[in-house]
Every structure is written in structure tokens, then in C-alpha cells.
Structure 1
Amino acid sequence: MRGVVGRAHTASRFHLDKWAPSDAAARFVEYFWSVQWDLRGQDPFDSTVITFPAMHITHEWGEDGPRHGFALPNTLVHGVVERVFHTTIAARGSVVGARFLPGGFTARFRRDAAAFTSRVQPVDAQLFGGPIDLDDDIGAAARRLDDLIGAHTGGPDDTYIAVTALLDRIRDDGRLHRVEQVMALSPWSARTTQRIFRRYVGVPVKWVLCRYRLQQAALEIESHAEVDFADLAIRLGWYDQAHFINDFRAMLGCTPGEYATRYGG
């Protein structure tokens, strides 16, 4: 899955699956996913993900003790992670999650996404209009989450529809490298665009631009031996190689060269 650091080295450590939501939930959810692992008798495994501008709701259980600072089992809201998402898996465990479309969590629940940025917290009783109790079973928990998210009267609001179109353009158009280019495409003023991004997405426009480029850079480094970092930097919109290296190190904690040594080719 794009965004998983060192994806070629993770296949033997856990099983990852994903599937489409129902039509009702698909207004807000990109897909459902699950992770299962059994590392009993093995060393714990550290996993890193270059996160997307998306929020998640997860239901988590297992034998590995607290996760994200909370006892198991638990149902959690994950805000957008500004740097990279690190987690350590051990013993035996499972997670089932809903990955929301960027802006989808706010459109569904009317909660400010920025209030959750870089935070994980248990689902509160008010989120779904009352307490929820999910089974520690991937299929049953996923179906219940799908029903709860899809049980929303009325369609998505106009702001969500417009910001989704803008986010899709940022993701798909490799020529968009600067905030000014995005503002030229926005139906709102620059100030309003930034405010809407913070409320619906949880992060500013510049962060979204940089994150998609970093994900592509990491994927190319992993996929192609002896990649030319200077060419990669310019092609993906950085002013020069030095700026690319600085952003890469800030997000991943290592330089592109160090990343290539660990995971490249």
C-alpha cells in the first residue's frame, strides 16, 4: 500500500487487507482496511507510514497491551499525522479501520479535523449519538462501522464537495507544486481556502502538496535502484535538491540516500 515505508520488507510480518465501503458510507469513507499479525515468539516489529491527509476510525484488540496509550480493546479516532505514523506491533493483534476521504470525517460528524491533528483518542459517546460496542472480529466490526457511518441523513455539504475536488486535483496533477497554483484553482479566497483546509482536512494546503510529493519520492526510491536525487527533486517540484533533502529528513528522519540504503531498489 502506498505510504508504507519499506513495503517490500513488511509482507511477512502482518497481513493487510482493504475493501470498498457500502454506497451509503462511501460518501465519506475511501475504504475499510484491516491488519492482523501473530509475532508470538518473535521480536516486535516497528512499522512506519507516510500518512495521507486522511482521518481514520479504528477498532483494535489483541494481546500486546496498550496501543497509542489506550487499553485494549478500544475504538479510536486518528487525526492526520503531520510527520510519519510510527507503531510497534508485538505478540498477536488485530485492527479494523475506516479510512475517511480527506474532509470526509468533518462532513460526516461536523467535527473540526484540526482538533484531531497528530492525536489519537477514543471515540466519545456523542460521535455516533450514543455509545457503541464493536465486536473483536474484523468482519462484524467492519459491518457495524459501515452501518454507523452510512447512517447519515442528507447528502454531503457543498463545501466538502468543493474541497474534495480540489484535493483530488492536488493528488492527481503532478504539475501542481506551489500553494499559489492551488489558490488559483480554488473557488474561495486564499484565506478562506486555508481555513477550510484546516477545518475539513486538518492541515494547510502546503502540507498536502508536500506530503503527496514525498510519498511519490519514497515510492520511486524503493522501486528504482540508483535513482538520481537531483532529477527526482526537480521533477517532483522542489526548488533544488537541498530543499528536497531537508523536507525528506524532516518527515522521515533520514536523508533520501539513507532511505535508499535501507529500502531502495
Structure 2
Amino acid sequence: MRGVVGRAASASLFDLNRWPPSGRAGRFVEHFWSVRWDLRGRDPLTSTVITFPVLHITHEWGSDGPRHGFSLPNTLVHGVVERVFRTTISERGAVVGARFRPGGFTARFGRDASVLTGRVELVDDQLFGCPIDLDDDVESAAAVLDDAIAAHRAESDPTYDALTALVERIRDDDRLHRVDQVADLSPWSARTTQRVFRRYVGVPLKWVLCRYRLQQAALEIESTPDVDFADLAVRLGWYDQAHLINDFRSMLGTTPGEYADAHRA
């Protein structure tokens, strides 16, 4: 699974599911997801995710004590994580979440995504315009959250619509490696494009380009025996292997070789 580090080794220790949102919520939300675990009598598990350029709203509960600095149960908004998302789970617990499309959180709530980058905050009553009460149950909490997100009645946001098309092109076209290539496709000036990414996505355009390549590189390293790092680097748009190593280390805190030794299936 793209983004989840070492998924093959930990798959049996927790139950991870995801499903599509309703039609109206789907304008802003890519999918809903849940994680459930029961590690009573077992060692805690540290899970690492190479994050996407997206925000999440989660409802969390369990017997494992505070998470992200907040007592349980809690309902949280998670900004974009610029390196990797790492959390340790123990005892028994669950999380249900809405993963927004890139820019979807800002389009839905009107808040600047860059203010939340690298932060986790409690959902306040002002976010939805009224208190939101979520049960400690995956199906019930997801349904209430879907309805609350879908209740938005504002007019279409043309900036968000154009951004969505641009981000999908970046994600799907492995020939796009540089900011100037994206600028040529953007409906805005280079400066405005950067401002839109900061406000709506929460991170610079260059970060988004590099992150999608790093996710693909990590997936191939985990799944391909004896991967050729020099070939991988050039194929995914790095100038050479040294540039791949530098980006891998700066964003993920490890080299490709160390990552392969730790996580290759």
C-alpha cells in the first residue's frame, strides 16, 4: 500500500479499512478510513506513513492513553506532515478518519491549510459552525462526519476545481518532475500557483512533486528485490542517485539503502 512503511510486516497486527465518501462529501474527501487494533498483552507497535499532501479529520478512542497530546476520546484535525507520520499504538483502540483531497479542507472550511501544517489540533465548534458529537464507533462516527462535511452549501470554488485537476496531473504523470513543468500547465502565474498550493494544500508545489516521487520510490524499494537505486533515481526524475539519497534522507530520515534493509519484503 502506497505510503505505509513496512505494511507487509505489520498487516496482521491491526485492521485497516477505507471506503468512499457520499456523493456530496466526495467533493472534498478522497476516502474515509479506519484502524482498529487489540494489542493487549503484546508489545506496542510503531507505525510509519510517508504522508500525502492532504489533511485529515479523525475521531479516536481506546484504552491506550493520550494520542497526539490529547486525552481520549478526541476529535482532531491533522495538518500535512512534512517528513513522516509516526505513531505508537498499544493496548486496544480505534481511529476513524476522513482523508481530504489536496485542497479539500480549505475549500470546505475556508481555513488556510498552511497554518495547520505540522500540527494536530482539537476540532472546535467553529469548524463546522456547530458542535459535532461523534460516537466511539467506526460506522456511526463515519456517518456523522460524512453528513457534516456534506452539509456545505457554498458555491463552487473555481480555484479548488483547477487545483484538483493540477494535483491529479502531478500524481498521475510520472514525467512531471519540476516546478517549471507544472507552471506551464497551471492556469495561474508562477507566483499565484505557489500561493494557491500554500493556502489550499499547505505545502509548496516542490514538496508535492518530491513527495509523490518518494512514495513511488519507497514502494518499489519495498516490493522489488535488489532494486537498482541509480536506475530508480533517473526513472523517477532525480538527476542522479545522489539527489535521490539526499531527498530520501531529508524527507524520510533514512537513505534508500537503509530503508531497503529495514523494510524490503
With normalisation by structure 2, the TM-score equals 0.99
**Residue 154 of structure 1 aligns to a residue in which SS?**
coil
Matched AA of 2:179: V
Partner residue, 2:261: 261
Matches within 5 A, 1:1-265: 1-265=1-265
Distance 1:263 1:81 in 2: 21
What is the one-letter code of the residue matched to 1:160?
Answer: Y
Deviations 1:147-205 (A, max 9, x none): 00000113430000000000000000000001110001000001000000000000000
Structure 1: where are the runs of 5+ without partners?
Answer: none
Per-residue CA deviations over 1:39-81 (Å, capped at 9, x if unaligned) read: 0000100000000001000000000000000010000000010
| TM-score, normalising length: structure 1 | 0.99
Q: Deviations over 1:210-250 (max 9, x none)?
A: 00000000000011000000000011001111110011011
Task: Please provide the CA RMSD for this pair.
Answer: 0.7
Superposed displacement of residue 254, structure 1: 1.2
The one-letter amino acid paired with 1:53 is P
Structure 2 unaligned residues grouped into runs of 5+ = none
Instruction: Supply the distance in 1 between the matched residues of 2:171 and 2:10 (Cα, whole angstroms).
Output: 25
Question: How many pairs align?
Answer: 265
The residue identity in structure 1 corresponding to 2:85 is F
Q: Is the 8 A contact 1:27 1:156 kept in 2?
A: no
- The list of structure 1 runs, each at least 4 consecutive aligned residues, that deviate by more than 4 angstroms after superposition, is none
One-letter amino acid of the structure 2 residue matched with residue 250 of structure 1: S
- Residues 34, 97 of structure 1: 8 Å contact kept: yes
Paired residue type of 2:167: L
